[in-house]
Amino acid sequence: MEGIQIFVCSWVVACLSGFCVYLYHVLWLRTEKLREKLRKQGFRGPPPSFLCGNFLEMKRIESMVAMSPRKQDGCLTDDYAPSLFPYLELWRKEYGSAFMFTTGNVQHLYISDPNLVKEISLCKSWDLGKPSYVIEQLGPLLGRGVTLSNGHLWAHQRKLIASEFFMDKVKVNLNSYSFN
């Protein structure tokens, strides 16, 4: 009887330790390997914490900006990104126009250089797109339209609707609406 209890206990301990090793691999080592590949290519970024990534630092920066007094000059501006995402602006100043950050165990690459974005989209346009977890979560709500499609399906859908946004089409539509 004691031999069975020892066997069951050792089996439970082995399963729990294997599960802990698996979680460590999924939650930390996989993202750390990706971060190492990006570091070798010259991308830097804020160091993440174990489970939260940079989420706690993002919240801290947002609360600091919310508490700081703002200048009210009464003029509108199209530079709204620093007020919506102050952590991205702060990290851009610290790490340059291309850096990496982490939310949970998801790695993000932030690029604010328009020439680099253009070069990436020209060379790898079919490989880029919406992440699979976004499509899985929002797919039932939004369907397979332009918002969630990728690759050739996205290009086909965009080609269908893009003609409606050329200036000569917009002028014709505006003229028809103004007479009604």
CB 8: neighbour CB atoms within 10 A? 10
Give the Cα separation of 100 and 32 in Å (integer). Answer: 12
Could you read off the pLDDT of 74-83 as tens digits, one per residue?
666 667 778 8
Q: What is the pTM of this model?
A: 0.66
Residue range 26-38: mean pLDDT, rounded: 88
Q: Which of 81, 39, 32, 90 is nearest to 60 (CA)?
A: 90
Instruction: At 24, list the tokens.
Output: 């460590």
Cβ(59)–Cβ(113) below 8 Å: no
Residue 125 has pLDDT above 70, yes or no: no
Residues shown for the chain: 180
Residue range 102-106: mean pLDDT, rounded: 87
Cβ(102)–Cβ(53) below 8 Å: yes
**Chain mean pLDDT for the chain:** 82
Instruction: At 137, list the tokens.
Output: 């979560």
Residue 47 has pLDDT above 90, yes or no: yes
Q: Residue 56: its pLDDT value, please?
A: 92
Q: Residue 180: its pLDDT value, please?
A: 52
Q: Is 101 exposed, middle or buried (0-12, 13-18, 19+ CB in 10 A)?
A: buried
